[in-house]
Chains A and B, each alone.
Chain A
Amino acid sequence: MKKITINPVTRANSPFMVEAVISQGKVVEARCSVQFFRGFELILRDRDPRDASYLTERVCGICSSAHGTAAAYALEDAAGVRPPHNGNVLRNLILGADLLQNHIRHFYLLSLPDYVRGPDMHPFVPGYSKDFRLAGRDNEAMLQNYYEALEMARLAHEMVALFGAKAPFPHSILAGGSTVAPTADVVLNFRSKLKKINDFIANRMIVDVHTLAEVYADYYTIGGRTADMLVFGIFPRDQDDRARYFSCGALLEGQVHQVNAQAINEDLSHAWYEHSTAANDGGIGAEKIPNNKGMLNEQTAPNREKKGAYSWVKAPRYNGRAVEGGPLARLWISGDYRHGVSTMDRIMARVLETQKVGQLMAGWLEELRPGEPVYKPFKVPHEAIGVGLTGAMRGPLGHWLRIEKGRIADYRIITPTAWNMSPRDAEGQPGPMEQSLLNTPVADENEPIEISRVVRSFDPCSACATHVIAPGKSLREFIISV
């Protein structure tokens, strides 16, 4: 028995730590720990609800559009307003472009260095030295594509900027719609960039992932777990949001179910938080919020010294089960890919999803109607509750908003990485990433690259992971719109 600590896990959106106990060359126990806390939801309180789209984008620099979108949905829900047709399509295009950016960057910049030998220069060295299996020619080709991918990711962010003002943190995702008129010149520019990216995906990325899957085929059996997954749905098909291109659904032991909001719970037994009434290390955020609607009335407060806790992430559970989110979950529930649940399946699904979204986007461009409105003005309600559900690149994302006296009285964010990277719950059940690490073979305890490969297949993002939410309450006000 030996304990390995990887701290920081790099090539992730903000570092985190993995501790793994190794016995007879395999992981027998794993803990994933997010090592930082910002308290975004506390910061959002008492502010103008319209500001939430911009402010929550700052939760994450790599999936900012997803937060902007969830915030826009939440406020639209609260205000009872729907965006115009163009507004919905434009927001889909912005989020879609950001998804392309994320997936291309994740696959090439963040994942591939675990499989491809990099050039002999910083920051590629130092690095692990073992188990790089690609033949010299393939390795070189993939390295060239690494640099090409940088250009493609940048190009995808240019697409975000065309309709979104800038990236990261696009301004044009707002409750009420979007803001840039889809004129022919901009549509043409967007289409041209999209075509370059789609060509890259088809001719390089798809090829590369298949090469990778062939050479590292054992990773179809490493990093596996039960097919327990969750998708909130992503990309509304029309402005009334009656259906989405990626459907909302819960997968339990491989069976697709409708999502039941009552089944969502959060556990904080192993997270660095206390109930508001308990002791904490300073009391910030410990104030109680009046419970006038029977909702989320309990508050939690950060407590870094809490005994038995090991992460800033709480443990969301669905029907008491640890469920994962991300491209594999989305493709599984939409029926596009049901090969298995493993490290390589997650990577494969991510690349296939990149291709699917790129192709869908070409179609969305056709739906734009030049000359028609992109934004619908609305009034911020005095008192209201709104929920915005979508998918970030790495899994289900929910924003929950309560407005009192026209201000944000309470704001909650349920992030993908909270689902994926959650710690143990009160029953001792590990989170999905922790479960996936079990039985992972580790050839060299000084270079535990196998662990890194499993962990990175989730596209971990601790930037979005830490938040504050009420413990032990089912979020029964959740409105699942699909």
Chain B
Amino acid sequence: MIEINKFKSIINKGGLAASEATNQLVGSLLAGDKKKHPPVLWLGTNTCAGDSISFLNSLDPGYRAIITDLIDFRYNHFVMSAEGDMATGVLQDILAKFAGEYILIVEGTVPTRSNGLYCVLGQRSGEPYTALAAVRELGMAAGHVVAVGTCAAFGGPYAAQPNPSGGKSVQEVLNRKVINVPGCPVNPGWIVGTLAHLVWYGEPELDKYNRPTLFYGETIHNLCQRRHYFDSGIFASQPGEPWCMYKVGCKGPVTFADCPYRQWNGEHINWPVKANTPCIGCVSPEFPEHTMPFFEHLPDIHLPGITVNANRIGAVTGTLTALGIGSHLAVSIIKGRLPKTVKIGLAPSKPGLEVLQTTPVQVLVDSIKKKLKKKH
């Protein structure tokens, strides 16, 4: 551990940037007595690399401290020096030497069409090494498998209808436990925090979608700084207004994440609602399919006989916004299959919180059917 006097001398030393000294300090604090330093493989499958970029945006600790003192960052196509067979060789090397120890992080959906040829990560013996094969092979031998970002965790945008690549979540192609750290992109705090938990304390507590409850334990709506506007019925009527975004389509009531507290980027300076835009539910298993249209609220659907309260309206929002998506979804709604998070939103509140009366699902379904019949 770096001593405070030494730290001061580093800070005072001319020519050395303060951030560098801070990084050294953070680094040594991070390392502390925690000697573990597991190899981490970060596979980008069908991804936009947004989660890699977001990971690089981590502030405390910064990327340098993370790779120096928390993990042994072996493979990530965005930053690694090696390429070609040399890069693919890293994967094989880790598999041979660190089976059961390394952490596999997967970013992106895993396409399954044409035997996985819709995403090729490299080659082996001159043959395409598909993401599908890599995730299965490296996933089975990993100490932990982490699906980072909503694509890897739940399918995300690329697996949305009509899912041209046959994209699946990591869990759908891997017969073992996968820790899901969703977000589009993932917040650096969520993934770096999950990694620290894995390295220091082992597997974190997970919710029913295998998301760490540490980050995904409460709805955005319940943590929102603008909750009082909602309770007072003061709603923005368009993006850009500084009030509750609920009627502009905010999915905060059915979205489980700590965005209002954590916020985004470096100094945690902003997040969608603070920027006068709706939450689009990007950490949800249903994103984007069931959280679209993003700006749609559909307040004209009435539920006779139901007293409105916050939790109920949340559930209603999630369901009703699904209406606008198209016939393939409407059919599933008519069949009574509601988006998964809506069901959570309808579940009784946790002990310790005010228990509110929930909305009967059937009432919603009936009213949606009625609405659809009128439309056609």
Bound: A155/B62 CA distance, A = 12
- On whether the beta carbons of A171 and B114 are closer than 8 Å, the reply is no
Bound: A463/B84 CA distance, A = 18
Q: Which B46-97 residues have a C-beta within 8 angstroms of A?
A: 46-54, 56-59, 62-64, 67-68, 72-90
Interface size class of A (residues with CB under 8 A): 35 or more
Given the known interface contacts A61-B52, A160-B265, the answer about A125 and B83 at a Cβ–Cβ threshold of 8 Å is: no
Among A148, A157, A163, the most chain B Cβ lie within 10 Å of the Cβ of A157
Instruction: Chain A residues near B267: list those with CB within 8 A.
Output: 158
Q: Which A140-194 residues have a C-beta within 8 angstroms of B?
A: 144, 147-148, 150-151, 153-155, 157-158, 160-169, 171-172, 174, 176-181, 189
B136 CB to closest chain A CB, in angstroms? 17
Return the contact of A166 from the options B68, B117, B272 (Cβ within 8 A).
B272
- B276's nearest neighbour on chain A, judged by CB, is A179
A145 CB to closest chain B CB, in angstroms? 10
Assess whether B224 is interfacial by the CB under 8 Å rule: no
Query: Which of A32-40, A330-338, A345-353 is the contact stretch?
Result: A32-40
- A281's nearest neighbour on chain B, judged by CB, is B114
Instruction: Chain B residues near A178: list those with CB within 8 A.
Output: 240
Return the contact of B56 from the options A55, A150, A179, A181 (Cβ within 8 A).
A150
Q: Which B166-191 residues have a C-beta within 8 angstroms of A?
A: 166-167, 184-185
- On whether the beta carbons of A127 and B270 are closer than 8 Å, the reply is no
- On whether the beta carbons of A147 and B162 are closer than 8 Å, the reply is no
Among A5, A54, A59, A148, the most chain B Cβ lie within 10 Å of the Cβ of A54
Instruction: Chain B residues near A125: list those with CB within 8 A.
Output: 81-82
Assess whether B230 is interfacial by the CB under 8 Å rule: no
- On whether the beta carbons of B265 and A161 are closer than 8 Å, the reply is yes
- A166's nearest neighbour on chain B, judged by CB, is B264
Q: Which A1-22 residues have a C-beta within 8 angstroms of B?
A: 5-15, 17
- On whether the beta carbons of A463 and B48 are closer than 8 Å, the reply is yes
Instruction: Chain A residues near B319: list those with CB within 8 A.
Output: none
Return the contact of B67 from the options A109, A121, A181, A374 (Cβ within 8 A).
A121
Assess whether A126 is interfacial by the CB under 8 Å rule: yes
- On whether the beta carbons of A179 and B62 are closer than 8 Å, the reply is no
Bound: A381/B44 CA distance, A = 38
Main secondary structure of the interface of A (DSSP, over half): loop
Assess whether A46 is interfacial by the CB under 8 Å rule: yes
- On whether the beta carbons of B275 and A165 are closer than 8 Å, the reply is yes
Q: Which A270-316 residues have a C-beta within 8 angstroms of B?
A: 281-282, 284-285, 302, 304-305
Bound: A393/B135 CA distance, A = 31
Bound: A175/B214 CA distance, A = 36
Assess whether A48 is interfacial by the CB under 8 Å rule: yes
Assess whether B339 is interfacial by the CB under 8 Å rule: no
Assess whether A242 is interfacial by the CB under 8 Å rule: no
- On whether the beta carbons of A121 and B68 are closer than 8 Å, the reply is yes
Assess whether A137 is interfacial by the CB under 8 Å rule: no
- On whether the beta carbons of A15 and B48 are closer than 8 Å, the reply is no
B101-142 interface bits toward A, Cβ cutoff 8 Å, 1 = contact, 0 = none: 000000001010110011111110010100100000000000
Instruction: Chain B residues near A147: list those with CB within 8 A.
Output: 20, 23, 64
Bound: A214/B239 CA distance, A = 50
Instruction: Chain B residues near A305: list those with CB within 8 A.
Output: 114
Bound: A113/B325 CA distance, A = 45
- On whether the beta carbons of B162 and A284 are closer than 8 Å, the reply is yes
- On whether the beta carbons of B271 and A36 are closer than 8 Å, the reply is no
Instruction: Chain B residues near A126: list those with CB within 8 A.
Output: 81-82, 86, 89-90
Return the contact of A161 from the options B78, B114, B270, B293 (Cβ within 8 A).
B270
- 7 A-B pairs whose Cβ atoms sit less than 8 Å apart in the complex: A13-B48, A13-B49, A37-B164, A38-B158, A54-B280, A55-B157, A122-B39
